[in-house]
Amino acid sequence: MLAPGNMEEIAAELRKYEVDVAAIQEIRWKEQGIINKKEYTLLYSGNEKQGQGETGFIVSKKLKDNIIDFRAKMLKKKKKKLYENLEKEIEGIPKEDTTIVLGDFNAQIGQDDYIKQVAGKHTVHNVTNDNGTRLCNLAISTNMVISSIKFQHPYHHKVTWSAPDNKTFTQIDYILITRRKQSSVKDVRTFRGACADTDHFLVTATIKQKVKRCRRDAKKRNGALKN
């Protein structure tokens, strides 16, 4: 759990790793709000009572795409509803927009053949767990891809979470993007040196997109010059 007092420390780490937009989990702040700082903006969402439930917010300096921060609940009876709500949220975004979904999915993705259509082969797991199946099915139904395991990296640049014994590691945090925009993702990897007082490692994606130039209507331009 992160406290408001160390947000400056987290912001400094994000600047160090040149992160423009970050999703942060388990803040457990009360209700919802926006905090504007000189170099970044915090958008957070929590429950009515402070310290209860899992919350997340986005630390944003440059926010140009539709970004959804998600955390999978451990309770099985709530998983179905969570994923249904997430799917509706994605489907409600205009098709021409770029959508990015990222966060702690508590998902382990294996080497199953059907997964290859939405994910890469560079996973650290052999078997897909229940959350992994749900995540892959979500990607299939919403026409997205799981970019996190499409890039070849050493083991320590792929695992995203460390157990309290500091000997057990797993890959449970992922980044998804609209399928037609998957070529915009140039790399996804983990940085274990980022300090944020958490057992999760910093997972980063390098995304490059072209910005279309808007052309003014020639007649309107000429009319404006005459006036």
Q: What is the pLDDT along the chain (227 residues), one digit of tens a residue?
A: 344 446 777 778 888 888 888 887 777 676 777 777 777 777 777 665 554 445 454 555 555 567 777 777 655 667 888 899 999 999 999 988 899 998 889 999 998 888 888 998 899 999 999 999 999 999 999 999 999 899 999 999 999 999 988 889 999 999 999 999 999 999 999 998 887 677 889 999 999 876 555 455 444 444 444 43
> Dihedral of the CA atoms 60, 66, 71, 72 (nearest 10)?
-170
Element (H, E) at 133: helix 130-141
The two beta strands, 202-207 and 185-191, are antiparallel
Question: 111 is written with which tokens?
Answer: 């080497």
Give the model's pLDDT for residue 11. 79
Q: Is the pTM of this model over 0.75?
A: yes
For the chain, the domain total comes to: 1
Give the model's pLDDT for residue 22. 80
Whether residue 176 is contained in a domain is answered as yes
Whether residue 20 is contained in a domain is answered as no
Whether residue 46 is contained in a domain is answered as no
Element (H, E) at 226: helix 218-226
The two beta strands, 56-60 and 144-146, are unpaired
Give me the CATH number covering residue 70.
3.60.10.10
Give the model's pLDDT for residue 143. 95
Domain holding 100, by residue range, is: 64-226
Give the model's pLDDT for residue 218. 46
Whether residue 48 is contained in a domain is answered as no
Whether residue 150 is contained in a domain is answered as yes
Whether residue 50 is contained in a domain is answered as no
Whether residue 37 is contained in a domain is answered as no
